[in-house]
Amino acid sequence: MCREADLRRAVLAKNDGAAQALRAELTARGTTVVNLLSSPGSGKTALLERELTLARERGVSVAALTADLATENDATRLARSGVPVQQVLTDGLCHLEAHMLGRYLDGWLPEDTRLLFVENVGNLVCPASYDLGESLRVVLASVTEGEDKPLKYPTAFGPAQLVVITKTDIAEAVGFDEAAFRANVQQVNPGVRILRTSARSLEGTGLLLDHALAIAGGTRAHNPVMCRHAHPHTHEPHHDHTHDHDHGPAQPPETVRGRAGDGPAGSPPTVHPAPAPAGTAGLH
């Protein structure tokens, strides 16, 4: 058991070093990484497609990388937005790691990319431990997942810098207790901002994009109490953003004009297999 714990610490330490280097490299070129974590079926792909489409319409240069164990389904959907999209197939690995992200960005990510959205593998356990060099970590939960999800997965919700409720259009039908959910989020992550969204009704469309652009523009991100990594932009004192879901960021971001994609909407995504890194077997 001790040997396994030591191995896990070594793997995470190596990943942290790679993440810090990647963050510095991308920050130097003006790219902000947004890491999206959620359970399978939370609706993050549908929401991300809306946000990417809106970014293209605004002229904001964005790209997306999506990871799954198998299939290119999510990348195909996201490519309909018309922005550069890359699919990574993890072939059984339950999360992305920083060196994997760096490998697949090399030679693919457009130089003028302002925001890179990373749709992590659908899982609230393994991905929570791995820093990807992001400047904004977002955890999404749908109204169908239950109000106690934040309490069951504190290692995911605790370090989040933004929490997004999805599928709000069916909240009443499934009996979702939003007040209880918000209270549970605040219990594990005091002061974190919570957004309400629905890819179907379009409620909250653009709020995630606006928040990410604000971070890219220099607004400091929420600094969680439970934070494994020292991210840039995370030195903001805690404020109560519990009811911020109807408003944009405190400092509205500037809309950045630049290339919106590599081709017309519907361009096929780039697909790469991602072999499992050495030394991580049994750590998932």
pLDDT tens track for 62-109: 999 999 888 899 999 999 999 999 998 887 778 888 888 888 888 899
- What's the CA gap between 74 and 91, in Å, rounded? 15
Chain centre to alpha carbon of residue 137 = 5
Confidence grade of residue 232 (pLDDT, cut at 50, 70, 90)? very low
Backbone phi, then psi, for 138, in 5-degree steps? -120, 130
Range scoring the smallest mean pLDDT among 4-8, 109-113, 173-177, 248-252? 248-252
Element (H, E) at 199: none
At 1 the pLDDT is 58
Report which listed range, 20-34, 96-110, 264-278, is most confident.
20-34
Range scoring the smallest mean pLDDT among 6-20, 177-191, 214-228, 237-251? 237-251
Question: Secondary structure of the chain: what % helix, strand, coil (to 5)?
Answer: 35, 15, 50
At 280 the pLDDT is 37
188: left (phi over 0), alpha (psi -120 to 50) or beta: alpha
At 216 the pLDDT is 95
Average pLDDT value over all residues in the chain: 81
- What's the CA gap between 140 and 196, in Å, rounded? 10
- Tell me if 79 sits within 8 A of 267, measured CB to CB: yes
Domain ranges of the chain: 2-273
At 118 the pLDDT is 96
Architecture of domain 2-273: 3-Layer(aba) Sandwich (3.40)
